[in-house]
Amino acid sequence: MPPTTEVTCLDDDCFLDMFENHYTYDVPDDHSVPDLVCPACGGTELDEIEL
């Protein structure tokens, strides 16, 4: 499976600290974390966390 990524929301007002993305094999090659939106605040200021 593609690697699971940990994503954090950079919005200071957002109550969501981080969440995990679990991708399928269908994830496009050009997909990146900035393409996502925060599920809590809908913000697009997201950053991938390197574990």
What is the contact surface with Zn ion in residues (CB under 5 A)? Answer: 9, 11, 14, 16, 38, 40-41, 43
Least Cβ distance, residue 18 to Zn ion (angstroms): 10
Distances (CA, A) of 44 to 1, 23, 25, 26, 48: 25, 19, 24, 22, 12
Judged by beta carbon, residue 27 or residue 40, the one nearer Zn ion is: 40
Nearer to Zn ion, 2 or 39 (CB): 39
Nearer to Zn ion, 40 or 49 (CB): 40
- How far apart CA 6 and CA 50 sit, in angstroms, is 8
Report the amino acid identity of residue 44.
T
